[in-house]
A and B are shown apart, each in its own frame.
Chain A
Amino acid sequence: MRKNLNVIAAYSIMMGLIILVGIFQSWNIALSIFNLCLISAVMTMGANIQWGYAGLINFGIMGYTALGGLAAVLISVDPVQEAWSAGGFDILMSLWLIIVMVLVIRFILKRFDKSKMRTYSIAAIIISGILLIRFSAEPGIEAIEAVDPAKTGFLGGFGLPIIFSWIVGAFFAGGLAFIVGKVALGLRADYLAIATLLISEIVIAIIKHEDWLTRGVKNVIGLKRPAPYEVDLQTTDWFINLVEKFNSDKLEIISNLSDRQAALNQFVIEGSSVFVKLCYSGLFLTVVIILLILTQKALYSPWGRMMRAIRDNEEAANAMGKNVVKQHLLIFILGSAIVGIAGAMLVTQDGLFTPGSYRPMRYTFLIWVMVIVGGSGNNFGAILGGFVVWFLWIEAAPIALFLINFFTAGISETNALKAHLIESVPYFRFLMMGLGLLLIMRYRPKGILPEKIEIK
C-alpha cells in the first residue's frame, strides 16, 4: 500500500480536478474531458510500450490513429450499392493486381541472390505495377466518386456495429506497423523518429486524397453509435423518470406546474447528453482497464524482462540469444495496434471522420509529451500523463485567461496589449505544454511516476 501511495495520490488529485471542472463549469465538459483523457491514455499506453518497454521511437502515432479512424468508417458505414456496381469491379481488379505484384516480388526475393539485376527488376516491377494499377483503377475511381458526390461518392463500409472497428482498427494499425517496422526498424533512434514521422504523413496524404475509399476531405459524418441517441432518450419514459428522481429536490421547490415541467425538460436535455457521455466513459474505461491488465502482466512476465534487457543493452541481449530484430518488430506492431484502437475509439466518440484534422502537433507530439510527462516505462505513469496533459490542453485557455486578467488587473480594458493577449489565449496551451515538457525533462527526467522494477 505504502509503495503505491504516490500512484494513488496522483490519481486522486487528477480525479479531483475533473470533478472540480464538473462542479464549476459543467458535468458535460467534465465528462468530455474525461472521455478524451481515457482515449489519450490508450494512445500513451501504445506509445509507452514502444518507448518505455523497448526504447523504440515512434513519431508516427498520427498515422496509426488515422488508420484506426478509417477502420471505424469502413466497418460501420452501410455499403453504397451504386458505387459498388459502378466501380467495384475495377477496385477489386486493382486489389488483385497489388496482391500479384507483392507475390511476384516475394518470389524474386526468395529465388534470386542479391544483385544489381534483382534490385533493378524489382524496381521495374513496382513502377510498371503502379502505372498498370493507375490505368486500370482510374475509370472505376471516377465512377465511384461520381455517385451522388454530395452524400456518398465512396464505396462505403460493411454496415457492422462500430464496436467491431476497435479490433479491426488494431489490425489495420498493426499491419501498417509491420510494413514500417520491416522498412525502418534497423535505423538509428533519431532516423527512426524522422522516418516514422514522414511515413505517417504519407498515410495521411493517402487518406485525405483517396476519395473513393474515405471520402477524403469531404469527411464522413453521422457514424453509427454504440450508445443511445440524445433525441431518443429525451422521449423515453424510464429515462425521464430517472432524471426526475435525481433532481427531485430541485423540482420540488418549484410550485408552478408548468414551470416544473419546463425545468424537468431542461434537466432531461442536459441529462441525456451526460448519460450518453457516461455510456462512452463506461466503454472506454473497460478498454483502458483490459489493456492495463494485459500490459502490466506483460511487463512483469519473462517477456517483459527480456524487452527491458534488450532496451538497456541490445548487444548483451543479442549475445544471450534473444532475437532483437524480431522482438523489436513485435513490440512495434503491438504498440501501434493499441494506438489503432484509440484511433477507432476517437472516431466512435466523435461520430465523424475528418481526415483534415489529423495533424502531427495534436496526434504525435502531444502524445509524446504525455508519455514523457507521465513516466515512460510505467503504465500507470503513461495513463496519468494522458490525463494530466489532456486536462491541461483543454483547461489551458481558461487558466491563461485567468492569469492574464490577474496580472493586468490594473490596466484598462481597452489597452492594446491586454486585448492582444486575451485574443491570443488559445495559443497559451502550446506554451504550457512546451514549458511543462522542458521542466519535467530537466528536473524529473523519468516523469511524474517513474518506472520502478520490482522482482516478484
Chain B
Amino acid sequence: MDILNAIILLLNYIFIPALTYGSQLALGAIFVTLIYGILRFANFATGDMMSFGTMVTILFTWYFQSLGISLGILPTALLAIPFAIIFMILYMLSIDKFVFKYYRTNKSPPVQLAMVSIGVMFVTQAVVRIIIGPSDRRFFDGEKFIIKAREFKEMTGLNEGLALKSTQVLTIFVTIVLVSLLFWFLNKTKTGKSMKAYSDNEDLALLSGIDPKKIVMITWIIAGILATIGGALYGLDKSFKPFTYFNNMLPIFAAAIVGGIGNPFGAFLGGYVIAFSEIFLTYAYKKFFMYMLPESMEPESLIQLLSTDYKFAVSFSILVIVLLYRPSGIFKGKVL
C-alpha cells in the first residue's frame, strides 16, 4: 500500500506536471528548430510570437463567450484556436515579407538575422502589451478537473490523491496529435521531404528544382500553427502573461539545443528532457521516502536536491553541459 501511495505521489507531483510542461516546451522547441533549420537563424522573438498567438486566441475566446458560444465541458479557447491560427499565419507571413525577406535574399549572416529578430521581438511585445495589457489573464472555462484529488482518494482508499486537470490531458493529447501529424508531413509528403532537403543543403535543393519561396512560406505557416497552439495550451494550463511568455523563450531554446538544433524530433524530446530534469531536481522527496522507508529511517530534511528557486537554472546548466560535451545536441542536430 505504501508503495502504491509513493507511486501516486510521484505521478501527481512529478510525472504529470512534467509531461504537461514538457509538451508545452516541445511545441516551442520544434518551432525554434524549424526556423533554425530552414531559415538558419536563432529566433529571439519566439516567446513573443507565442504570446501574440495566445493573445489572438484570447480575443476570439472573449468574442465567442460574448456570443454565448461554448463547448460545454471543454474550454471555449479550443474553438478559438483555428481562427487565431489563421490570424497568426498572416502575421508571420507579413513579418517575413517586410522584415526577414530582405536579409534572406541578401544572404546576410545568421547573426544579423538574429539581431533583426530582436527588433521583431520588441515590436511584437509592444503590440501585445498595447492591445491586451501586461497583466495576468486566465481564459480557461469549462470543466477544470477530470479527477479530483479527494474523489480519487475515496475511490481507491489511498492516502495520496491524484488530481488530473483537464488542461493537462488536453495539452498532452493535442501535442501528441500535432507532433505526429508534423512528423508524418515532414517524412512522408513530398513538400516535407523537400523541406528536409532544403535544410540539409540549400544549393543542392535549389538545383533539383525545389522552390525556396514555397519552402519558406510553409515553414512560417507551420511555425504559426505551433506558436499559437503551444502558447494557447500554456495559457490554458497556467495563465497568460506577456512577461512569462518572453521568459519561456529561454527553456525553449535550451530544449531545442539539448535535442540538437535543426532536428525536430530532438527538439520534441528535448522539451521533455528539460521539463523532467527541472522538476526531478527541485522536488522535495521527503514524503516519498516516508512512504518507502521504514519509520525508523524517516528523513528529517526535505531531501530536495536544489531549491525551487533554481528551477530555471537547472535547465540552463543542462544546456551548458550539453554545449560543452556535445555541441550538436543529444540527437545530432542539423539534419531535420
Contacts and interface: CB of A to CB of B under 8 A. Distances in A.
B129 interface: yes
B320 A195 contact: yes
Interface string B312-325: 11001101100111
Nearest to A421: B130
A106 interface: no
A433 B118 CA distance: 10
Contact of A431 (B118, B123, B250, B320): B123
Interface residues of A, number: 41
A428 B128 CA distance: 11
Interface string A399-438: 0000000000000000000000101100111110111011
B122 A202 contact: no
B246 interface: yes
A365 B45 CA distance: 12
Contacts of A195: 319-320, 323
B300 to A, nearest CB: 12
B111 interface: yes
A438 B317 contact: no
Contacts, number: 118
B245 to A, nearest CB: 12
Interface string B289-325: 0000000000000000001011011001101100111
Contact of B313 (A206, A361, A445): A206
B65 interface: no
Contact of A361 (B116, B127, B246): B246
- Interface of chain A: mostly helix, strand, loop or mixed: helix
Interface string A52-72: 000001000000000000000
B119 A441 contact: yes
A195 B44 CA distance: 13
Contacts of A315: none
B253 interface: yes
B310 A205 contact: yes
A208 interface: yes
A434 B115 CA distance: 11
Interface stretch (A18-26, A183-191, A293-301, A337-345): A183-191
Nearest to A361: B246
B114 interface: yes
B146 interface: no
Interface in B100-147: 102, 109-112, 114-116, 118-127, 129-130, 133-134
Nearest to A368: B118
A199 B316 contact: yes
A209 B309 contact: yes
A430 B122 CA distance: 5
A9 to B, nearest CB: 26
Contacts of A187: 323, 327
Contacts of B125: 361, 427, 430, 434
How many B residues are at the interface, by size bracket?
A: 35 or more
B335 interface: no
B262 to A, nearest CB: 12
Contacts of B77: none
B55 interface: no
Contact of A198 (B112, B129, B319, B325): B319
A123 to B, nearest CB: 9
A270 interface: no
Contacts of B127: 431
A197 interface: yes
A45 interface: no
B129 A202 contact: no
Contacts of A445: 112
B254 interface: yes
A392 interface: no
B250 A433 contact: no
B214 to A, nearest CB: 25
B257 A424 contact: no
3 smallest beta-carbon distances between A and B, as pairs: A434-B122, A434-B123, A431-B126
Interface of A: 57, 119, 183-184, 187, 189-191, 193-195, 197-199, 201-202, 205-206, 208-209, 361, 365, 368-369, 372, 421, 423-424, 427-431, 433-435, 437-438, 441-442, 445
Given A194-B319, A430-B129, 15 more contacts: A183-B320, A190-B41, A191-B327, A193-B42, A193-B111, A195-B323, A198-B316, A209-B310, A369-B122, A372-B115, A424-B129, A433-B122, A434-B123, A434-B124, A445-B112
22 contacts: A183-B324, A191-B327, A194-B253, A197-B250, A199-B316, A201-B313, A205-B312, A209-B309, A365-B121, A368-B115, A368-B118, A372-B115, A424-B133, A428-B126, A429-B126, A431-B123, A431-B127, A434-B120, A437-B119, A437-B122, A438-B120, A441-B116
Interface of B: 41-42, 44, 99, 102, 109-112, 114-116, 118-127, 129-130, 133-134, 246, 250, 253-254, 257, 307, 309-310, 312-313, 316-317, 319-320, 323-325, 327
